[in-house]
Amino acid sequence: MRTGGMGLDDQALKDMARRCRVNIVKMTHAANSGHPGGSLSSIDLLCGLYGTQMRVDPDNPDWPDRDRFIMSKGHASPAVYSILHEIGYISEEDMMSFREFGSVCQGHVDMKWTDGVDFSAGSLGMGLSFGLGCALAARMDGSSRNVWVMLGDGEIQEGEVWEAFMAADFHSIGNLKVIVDRNRIQNDDFVHLQMEVGDVSAKLASFGWTVKEIDGHSMNELTDALKWASSHNSGPAAIVANTVKGKGVSFMEDNPSFHGKAPDDDELKQALEELS
């Protein structure tokens, strides 16, 4: 069995997720911009991933054999920065400079700017292909490192994603793991009103992937699924996580207007009260 993550139990992961949620709303409020909705929907999954699976070393960010995490839906950068702060890659000050000129915390996650970020995102649909490249390189190197890719459900409207799903199966890649954050909201509106993506699990299965569908906010379910995906090496594995956009802040939950809008002063106050 691989050992990775920080060895956190469900309660510790829940505490970590709560702290991250606080930082997500603080960061976007301070920047007066950014994407809280998709950060809050994905943060339980990210805490589970980094808390129980990811083999990384903040003291050696370029460690060649580290596991890779590709945040393909790069606008959920506040979620990533809150995690990187938790595990010691970036300081509180760095985190709170989100979106400022010269900040290591660029608007969308960028490997050129931030230690611990493995991909320069921002343009949707590219991360799975990049992850496949990382996974193929790992296989060539005979390395046991895993490559995790998080996709948004709106994001999979991009055709390149399906090129990559097909290619991953064709190349029988066993060290590539996808998490789909199925929060059902994209930039303009609900996914089913923009371009319904339908039964994602069935579609991925038809592309040759082994799929588990879970509640992306159940720490118990998601850590089990991550453990399964981590050790599923016979081919590409995907977790389709049903989530709630804006999860944890009542007025952001399932609300398309908080896809890309920061909380104002009053909203921040209420959000922090709810998360306390």
Question: Contact with another protein (CB under 8 A): which of 164, 180, 222, 237?
Answer: 164
Choices 23-31, 35-43, 109-117, 199-207; region in contact with another protein by CB under 8 A: 109-117
**91 part of the interface to another protein, by CB under 8 A:** no
- Report DSSP state, residue 257: G
- CA–CA separation, 68 vs 137, rounded Å? 12
Minimum distance between the CB of residue 100 and another protein, rounded to whole angstroms?
Answer: 19
Minimum distance between the CB of residue 133 and another protein, rounded to whole angstroms?
Answer: 2
Rule CB under 8 A: which of 49-88 touch another protein? 64, 68
- CA–CA separation, 129 vs 168, rounded Å? 9
**142 part of the interface to another protein, by CB under 8 A:** no
Rule CB under 8 A: which of 170-189 touch another protein? 170-171
201 burial (CB, 10 Å; 0-12 / 13-18 / 19+) is: middle
Choices 8-16, 20-28, 125-133, 257-265; region in contact with another protein by CB under 8 A: 125-133
- CA–CA separation, 20 vs 47, rounded Å? 9
Residue 226 identity? L
Minimum distance between the CB of residue 129 and another protein, rounded to whole angstroms?
Answer: 3
Question: Contact with another protein (CB under 8 A): which of 41, 77, 120, 186?
Answer: 120
Residue 185 identity? I
Query: What would the DSSP string read from start to end of 73-119?
Result: SGGGHHHHHHHHHHTTSS-HHHHHTTTSTT-SS-SS--TTT-TT---
Question: Contact with another protein (CB under 8 A): which of 135, 191, 214, 219?
Answer: 135
**234 part of the interface to another protein, by CB under 8 A:** no
- Residue 146: which residues within 8 A CB-CB, separation 6 or more? 2, 53, 55, 67, 68, 175, 176, 177, 230
Choices 1-9, 17-25, 135-143, 204-212; region in contact with another protein by CB under 8 A: 135-143
The candidate with the shortest Cα–Cα distance to 204, out of 238, 163, 175, is 238
Binding site for another protein (CB under 8 A): 64, 68, 110-112, 118-120, 122-123, 125-127, 129-138, 140-141, 159-160, 163-164, 166-167, 170-171
